[in-house]
Amino acid sequence: MRHAEVTYEVQSTAADIEQFASEVLLEQTFETPREVVDRYPELAQKGRGSIQSIDEIDEGRFRLRLLIPDHNALDAAQLLNAVFGNAAIHPGVRLMDFEPTEAMARQAPGPTVGTDGIRRKLRIPTRPLTASALKPVGLPLSEIAALCEDFASSGIDVIKDDHYLSDQPACSFEERIERCAAIANEASAKHGRPIWYVPSISGTPAEVRRRVEFALEAGVKCVMLAPMTLGLPLMAEVAADHPELVVLAHPSFSPMASFTPEVLWGKLFRMFGADAIIFVNAGGRFNYSVESCRLVAATMRAPLHGLKPALPVPAGGVSVEHVEEVIGRYGNDCMLLVGGSILKARDRRDAARRFVASVEEHALLTD
């Protein structure tokens, strides 16, 4: 019998926690009264799972570790049910971590390109990668294209859409993709190495499929998806259907009161096919600790049933001045996403070039 170890943080009282723990276990296995399950001894034996440990973290807060059988995680959506299905409905339960079995890991494709593949495609063997964003939303295509030009001519590796960009009247999806992809292609020729324009793709699954196809036709090598808005299984499907396409995941709509960043961004996003994952860097606009961010990046690269490592993309208030600090924090295997601090500069090309130069300067030595 194979079991996933699933860790929750739960709010309860010392008097109630054992009872609550066994209720959460029942929710995550049979979701049926115990006396009904007990009528089928073989079933009860096989599927019951167990409480591995209950530890008080703090007054009224407990860490609960369950062993949950993996045999119902039979597709990508059922994998989510098995790990955090009905337990999520308790507002006082947060998913901290889980160790999937190999069978569970096989329900989603994992990164099909991964860090090494991205490096190979971009022909950047060791240094950290650079990225910036086309924003703010609302600019007409001419301004977005001018921004793309500035970034591309400065040698930024990856130029991504803002996640609010979709099919705005003044900046339509198809025109933007064609124009920005052409700018990136020209810059690639000039620099003698690939520069990527990365469109943000949203919509219903059929729209996402159409838009991915359109982007591929335009020569795009990488797309940005926000899997919490689209559904994690859709990201998994795009990744599996296009194994050479690089998937950059955006964290929008991630309900972080219910998840730790390492389990959602570090583990689930990676399992569901993200090759590179944007996450919140400590010290920026969001209040995440350095330790927590290091753990997120480490989780993206940790051994996990043979899945390729995903590339951490620290973002959210990363500025040109922080390049050395960020590389010190995550090492060379990351992509620094610097947006606002370049956009703020009077001379954007100059700021973008300083960003690129700073990353080259502060890249760690490798042997």
Bridge-based pairing of strands 276-280 and 311-315 is: parallel
For residue 204, state whether it binds its own copies (rule: CB under 8 A).
yes
For residue 7, state whether it binds its own copies (rule: CB under 8 A).
no
Q: Which stretch binds its own copies (CB under 8 A): 59-67, 188-196, 247-255, 302-310?
A: 247-255
Distance of alpha carbon 145 from alpha carbon 138, whole angstroms:
13
Q: Which residues pair with 225 in a beta bridge?
A: 249
Quote the least distance from Cβ 234 to its own copies, whole Å.
5
- In three-state secondary structure terms, 338 is coil
Tell me the CA distances in angstroms from 37 to 1, 42, 57, 87, one per residue in order: 18, 10, 32, 19
Beta strands in 321-364 (DSSP E): 335-337
Task: Say if CB 227 and CB 255 are below 8 A apart.
Answer: no
Q: Which stretch binds its own copies (CB under 8 A): 51-59, 116-124, 161-169, 304-312?
A: 161-169
For residue 205, state whether it binds its own copies (rule: CB under 8 A).
yes
Which of 17, 64, 66, 85: binder of its own copies (CB under 8 A)? Answer: 85
For residue 10, state whether it binds its own copies (rule: CB under 8 A).
no
- In three-state secondary structure terms, 163 is coil
Which of 88, 222, 263, 351: binder of its own copies (CB under 8 A)? Answer: 88
Which of 156, 177, 228, 356: binder of its own copies (CB under 8 A)? Answer: 228
**Which residues within the stretch 255-284 sit at the binding site for its own copies (CB under 8 A)?**
255-259, 280
The contacts of residue 291 (CB under 8 Å, 6+ apart) are: none
- In three-state secondary structure terms, 129 is strand
Q: Where are the alpha helices (DSSP H) in 7-73?
A: 17-27, 34-37, 41-47
* Closest CB to its own copies among residues 115, 202: 202
Using CB under 8 A, count the residues that bind its own copies: 79
For residue 234, state whether it binds its own copies (rule: CB under 8 A).
yes
Which of 226, 307, 310, 334: binder of its own copies (CB under 8 A)? Answer: 226
Quote the least distance from Cβ 188 to its own copies, whole Å.
26
Which of 51, 106, 252, 298: binder of its own copies (CB under 8 A)? Answer: 252
In the numeric block, the tokens 């950059």 are attached to 248
The contacts of residue 45 (CB under 8 Å, 6+ apart) are: none
Quote the least distance from Cβ 344 to its own copies, whole Å.
5
For residue 33, state whether it binds its own copies (rule: CB under 8 A).
yes
Tell me, rounded to whole angstroms, the distance of Cα 213 from its chain centroid. 22
CB atoms within 10 A of CB 338: 28
For residue 46, state whether it binds its own copies (rule: CB under 8 A).
yes
The number of C-alpha atoms within 13 Å of 13 and in the hemisphere containing its C-beta is 2
**Which residues within the stretch 285-314 sit at the binding site for its own copies (CB under 8 A)?**
285-287
Distance of alpha carbon 83 from alpha carbon 259, whole angstroms:
12
Distance of alpha carbon 94 from alpha carbon 250, whole angstroms:
21
Quote the least distance from Cβ 261 to its own copies, whole Å.
9
* Closest CB to its own copies among residues 75, 360: 75
Distance of alpha carbon 35 from alpha carbon 308, whole angstroms:
43
Quote the least distance from Cβ 58 to its own copies, whole Å.
16
Residue 120 φ then ψ, to 5°:
-65, -45
For residue 56, state whether it binds its own copies (rule: CB under 8 A).
no
Q: What is the four-CA torsion angle of 225, 226, 228, 234, rounded to 10 degrees? A: -10
For residue 162, state whether it binds its own copies (rule: CB under 8 A).
yes
Quote the least distance from Cβ 124 to its own copies, whole Å.
27
For residue 36, state whether it binds its own copies (rule: CB under 8 A).
yes
Written as six digits, the tokens of 103 are 């069978």
- Contacts with its own copies, 336-365, as mask; x by CB under 8 A: ---xx--xx---------------------
Quote the least distance from Cβ 16 to its own copies, whole Å.
10
* Closest CB to its own copies among residues 123, 285: 285
For residue 89, state whether it binds its own copies (rule: CB under 8 A).
yes
For residue 125, state whether it binds its own copies (rule: CB under 8 A).
no
